[in-house]
Amino acid sequence: MSEPFDPDSFEPAGGPQTRDATGLPAPLADLQLRLQQLRPRQPQLDLALLERLAAGGGVSPPRAATGFSKMQLALAVAAAWLCGAIFGAALLLSTGFRTSDALTQGQLAASDARVPTAAAVETVPASDEMPDRGAVADTATPQTATAEAERQDAQRTKPGGPKRLLEINERFWESPLRVNSLRLQPSEQVFIRAPRQPNELSVASRSANGPGADATSATAASHSDSARPINLMQPATPKSRQQLLDDLLNLPTSDLY
């Protein structure tokens, strides 16, 4: 703890002869006295500033002169900038949402205006035909046994079959454009009803549905005179539920349009 400041304590007590120079020889003491008679130049100091500092006023003008302190002005400017930034960001976000929503609506309207093809008209979702097709398949030939096994597997694991996959896809893909395109596009999971129809129509439908149906061309040709409905879109090798889901998810986007 330091002691209180006392300026009088800094003044040396007594003359220069009585201070630390008492042990000096006479010539040196005389020289010291002569040197002390020379007064150094007084420095040019800003005494007004020093006195103001000593009085506690500080260097900056008093607060009453400006009305507001610098801290208050800085806070006000910062708050104004913050409010402006928040309002601008909100405006930009709302504008962006409106633009993207209008664009989506326009694209949806354009995709809904498409006319479905003949093959698409002929195709019926398999879920509508599942009970009938299952009943017919009980009397199917050994060539259709594989397809029947796959169908039973699909029915056992997931009621609804391929339609269920589409529902999953609709849930998984959030874009309405993509789901709408899937609805219009014939895929492997769409079964074709072929009750007692000539082979030309069946082959035409098969070729329109991609290479997955080529493997069943022999089966369709050999049993074209049969009274039973033949699933022309059934793959040669049975696919599991997971494989069907993977195929559906891996559809390239360019094929959707």
Partner 1 sequence: MSQIDEQQLRCIVAGHAAALALYARQWCSSPDDAVQEALIELLEQNPPPRDAIAWLFTTVRRRALNQTRGEQRRSQHQQRAAAGREPWFQPALDANLTSAEVEAVLERLDPTDREIVVAKVWGELSFEQIATLVQRSSSHVHRRYHHALSILHNYLQSETPSSQQPSATRVRTL
Footprint on this chain of partner 1 (rule: CB under 8 A): 2-5, 7-8, 10-12, 16, 19-21, 24, 27-28, 31-32, 34-47, 49-51, 53-56
Provide, rounded to whole angstroms, the least separation between the CB of residue 82 and partner 1: 35
Q: In what helix (H) or strand (E) does residue 142 lie, and over which residues does it extend?
A: none
Least Å from the CB of residue 26 to partner 1: 11
Shortest Cβ 60–partner 1 spacing (Å)? 14
Distance of closest approach, residue 35 Cβ to partner 1, in angstroms: 5
Q: Which is nearer to partner 1, 33 or 201 (CB)?
A: 33
Rounded CA separation 155/134 (Å):
10
Nearer to partner 1, 19 or 196 (CB): 19
Helix 126-137 and helix 162-172, axial crossing angle in degrees, nearest 10: 150
Distance in angstroms (rounded) separating the CA atoms of residues 87 and 91: 6
Pick the closer one to partner 1 by CB: 46 or 138: 46
Single-letter residue type at 195: P
**Residue among 219, 226, 161 nearest 191 (CA):** 161
- Is 192 strand, coil or helix? strand
Nearer to partner 1, 31 or 74 (CB): 31
